[in-house]
């Protein structure tokens, strides 16, 4: 593999609170090459958003990135950088967009001012130059009348427009990496299509890498090159997007795909994953998914599974990799037997 742009290695982000430790991100590793799109998929409580925030070191008290974690960006160890050095990277080399653009934009500044502000913080551009770059960037996001739109306030815009502003703000300095945390979740499906198309177009034009945090497998299939599936603060499966959708190896990935109603296949009844994600303060020993898994056996209780290589560029944190015969004998998961009471 070529030199990676971002290499996250054994990232652990814990929240220490009142004696309890919530291990929200617990030993996550993956990398992102220049120009590619990596999707981090997971449900609530999987640790995917905390992972994204950890990369930018935006974890606040009582959260802490634990010693031994490593985040290499462009060959530099970010966890050793001073806060000032981090500020130089944020918004400049690594930018981030969020699910809810309204809360990420300042209501009392025009959107043009906010984009220009990013330019002025990181470069020595004059006020006028910064404004011109803001307008140019808005044009690039497909806004008609960018000069006019730049003078509007966030509340004067629709959700889709605000997301375009967020994108313009994130990309105005041509970052090498864009972290997009559920960028289209709050949007309607036709607007989502516009935004995804825009992100792909800009990615091509600007040659940046995208780390996409999402719960939507449909979006993943459309835009990602590689996928990291998270569950219980860990990476449970890692593969190229075609590999993952063609042959999901981890029972959780498989479960997610079956639980999703699909336009192209009508099923009478959806498959569910019984139970709920255990709290991050008390991950079960052994495999964290075992109580909800239809294949779990003694080994899953005794032994915490490593990420097994299950193919070229395909890894799965499941003992099925070494005992594949077990796949032939699914049973009712423990969480389902413990009563229908989830």
**What residues line the site for another protein (CB under 8 A)?**
15, 17-18, 20, 22, 24, 43-50, 53, 60, 62-63, 158-161, 188-194, 196-197, 215-222, 224, 241-242, 244-245, 255-257, 259-264, 266-267, 269-274, 276, 279-281, 339-342
Nearer to another protein among residue 172 and residue 224 (C-beta): 224
CB of residue 211 vs another protein: minimum separation in angstroms? 16
Q: Tokens representing 155?
A: 């509340």
What is the C-alpha separation between 242 and 325, in angstroms, rounded? 24
Question: Given the complex with another protein, which of 136 and 222 has the nearer CB atom?
Answer: 222
- Which one, 46 or 114, has the nearer CB to another protein? 46
Instruction: Give the nearer residue to another protein in terms of CB position, either 123 or 258.
Output: 258
d(CA 264, CA 286): 37
Which is nearest to 34 in space by CA: 181, 228, 207, 241? 207
DSSP single-letter state for residue 90: B
Residue 306 sits at the vertex; the CA angle it makes with 303 and 309, to the nearest 5 degrees, is 135
Q: How far is the CB of 267 from another protein (least distance, A)?
A: 7
Distance in Å, CB of 129 to another protein, minimum: 31
Among 35, 3, 33, smallest CA distance to 208 is for: 35
Minimal distance, residue 58 CB to another protein, in Å: 10
In whole angstroms, how close is the CB of 294 to another protein at the nearest point?
13
Smaller CB distance to another protein: residue 143 or 169? Answer: 143
Q: In what order do the strands lie in the sheet with 308-311?
A: 94-97, 177-181, 209-214, 37-41, 226-231, 234-240, 314-316, 308-311
Dist. CA 121–CA 118, nearest whole Å: 5
**Structure token digits, residue 338:** 């413990």
CB of 59 to another protein, least distance (A): 9
Q: Whole-angstrom Cα distance, residue 247 to residue 258? A: 13
Can you tell me the distance from the alpha carbon of 29 to that of 12, in angstroms, rounded to the nearest whole number? 10
Closer residue to another protein in complex, CB, 135/196: 196
Q: Which is nearer to another protein, 152 or 257 (CB)?
A: 257
Q: Quote the least distance from Cβ 50 to another protein, whole Å.
A: 5
């Amino acid at each position: 593999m070529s030199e990676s742009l971002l290499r996250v290695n054994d990232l652990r982000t814990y929240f220490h609170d009142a004696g309890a430790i919530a291990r929200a991100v617990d030993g996550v590793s993956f990398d992102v090459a220049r120009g590619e799109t990596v999707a981090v998929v997971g449900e609530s409580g999987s640790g995917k958003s905390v992972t994204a925030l950890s990369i930018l070191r935006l974890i606040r008290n009582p959260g802490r990135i634990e010693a031994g974690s490593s985040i290499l960006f462009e060959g530099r160890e970010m966890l050793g950088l001073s806060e000032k050095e981090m500020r130089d990277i944020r918004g400049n080399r690594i930018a981030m967009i969020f699910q809810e653009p309204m809360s990420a934009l300042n209501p009392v500044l025009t959107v043009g001012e906010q984009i220009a502000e990013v330019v002025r913080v990181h470069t020595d551009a004059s006020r006028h130059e910064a404004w011109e770059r803001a307008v140019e960037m808005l044009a690039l996001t497909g806004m008609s009348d960018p000069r006019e739109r730049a003078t509007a306030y966030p509340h004067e815009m629709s959700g889709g427009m605000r997301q375009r502003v967020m994108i313009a703000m994130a990309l105005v300095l041509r970052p090498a990496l864009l972290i997009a945390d559920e960028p289209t979740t709050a949007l309607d499906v036709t607007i989502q299509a516009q935004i995804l198309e825009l992100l792909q177009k800009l990615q091509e034009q600007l040659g940046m890498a995208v780390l996409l945090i999402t719960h939507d497998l449909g979006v993943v299939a459309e835009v990602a090159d590689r996928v990291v599936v998270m569950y219980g603060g860990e990476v449970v499966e890692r593969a190229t997007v075609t590999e993952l959708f063609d042959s999901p190896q981890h029972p959780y990935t498989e479960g997610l795909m079956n639980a999703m109603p699909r336009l192209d296949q009508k099923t009478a009844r959806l498959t569910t994953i019984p139970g709920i994600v255990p709290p991050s303060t008390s991950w079960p020993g052994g495999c964290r998914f075992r109580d909800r898994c239809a294949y779990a056996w003694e080994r899953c209780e005794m032994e915490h599974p490593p990420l097994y290589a299950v193919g070229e560029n395909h890894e799965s944190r499941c003992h099925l990799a070494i005992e594949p015969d077990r796949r032939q004998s699914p049973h009712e998961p423990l969480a389902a037997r413990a009563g229908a009471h989830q």
